[in-house]
Amino acid sequence: MLKPALFLTNDDGVDATGLKVLITALHQRGFPLVVIAPESEQSASGMKLTLSRELEFKSRGDLVNQLQSDESIPMKIFSLSGTPCDCAIVGLDGGLDTWAPEFKPVMCISGINHGPNLSVDVLHSGTVSAARESCLYGMPALSVSLATYEHSNFLEMVEGAMKIIESCVEILPKAPVNLLRKNGVSQMPNNSGSIDSIRQHFADANIFLNLNAPKEWNGKFETTSLGSRWYHNAIEMTENENGGVLYRVGAANIEDENIVGSDCNAINSGKFAITPLSAWPANHPLGLSIDFLQAAAQSGDDGLPSWLE
């Protein structure tokens, strides 16, 4: 029997190596896949939406031919001339029903991103934002990143991502329970922090997971909270030939505080960091308390969230 279908996107673009590695790994494990990803790189785009122009939607049969290892396992790939959040919205608010009605995804996976998405990076990241946007539309989600620019060997960490993804799929219903948020806030699961309540919030897409793999993975996992990361010398100023001022944004130095139990600490220790995040602001009706998120960030015996065991 086929496994449940998955919806994939990213911010590095539809032709990015990380996305191709993810597609290949999931497809070889029997997951039907439908992909809508930006036609070009959209890193650090946050939750930006394209409101000023129409978006071009293209079928990428060439990538399907390249990546599909078994024709009996369905795969469709599309590009969109927009942002990661545009991709999530187009897919979930009608695009999949129009262009891939045979797919009924149970979860969105955004990535694999090249570069870290730790601490406050989650506020800027297009990868994380696509996962969050999917949650706003009621589809459970996770984002996944290789937290280094020193190499691009996604194959070394993809097995860790597969373990987490398959653990998520095992506890999810066969179809999203609140897709397009038709129930609004009327069926808010309880906030007790019990395993059942956390699983209910994950299925309702009120929490999602942000995954980061270290430069050199030691084979261990840790469920974490967000850490403290500081960007120093974040701008570089130059002058052009006309005397105008030019700025480039990009930190020269990054400092991670050594906080035990944080994503930064786990990554710097060689572990795979798994961080539960709230899809909603804390003061939204569906927002979750610090106590609830701390309960969701408890590691089980294998380092994965205790509620995934």
Model confidence pLDDT, tens digit, residues 212-246: 999 999 999 999 999 999 988 888 888 888 889 88
Beta 221-223 vs 75-80: how paired, if at all?
unpaired
| Beta carbons within 10 angstroms of residue 233's beta carbon | 10
| Assigned token pair, 144 | 């996944």
Q: Would you tell me the crossing angle of helices 195-203 and 155-171 to the nearest 10 degrees?
A: 100
Q: Residue 272 to residues 130, 158, 263: CA-CA distances in angstroms?
A: 21, 11, 9
Contact 136, 287 (CB under 8 A): no
Name the class of domain 6-226+258-308.
alpha beta
Domain boundaries, the chain: 6-226+258-308
Res. 187 pLDDT band, cuts 50 70 90: confident
DSSP, residue by residue, 212-272: EE-SS--S-EEE-B---EEEES-EEEEE-TTS-EEEEE--SEEEE---TTBHHHHHHTTPE
Residue 250, pLDDT above cutoff 80: no
User: What confidence score (pLDDT) does residue 15 get?
Assistant: 98
For residue 135, the surrounding DSSP H or E stretch is helix 126-136
The residue-averaged pLDDT of 46-51 equals 94
For residue range 73-102, list pLDDT tens digits in order. Answer: 999 999 999 999 999 999 999 999 999 999
pLDDT at 25 over 90: yes
Phi and psi for 183 in degrees, rounded to 5?
-90, 0
Q: Is the pLDDT of residue 251 over 80?
A: no
As given in the structure block, the two tokens for residue 135 are 């949650």
Lowest mean pLDDT among 161-165, 204-208, 249-253: 249-253
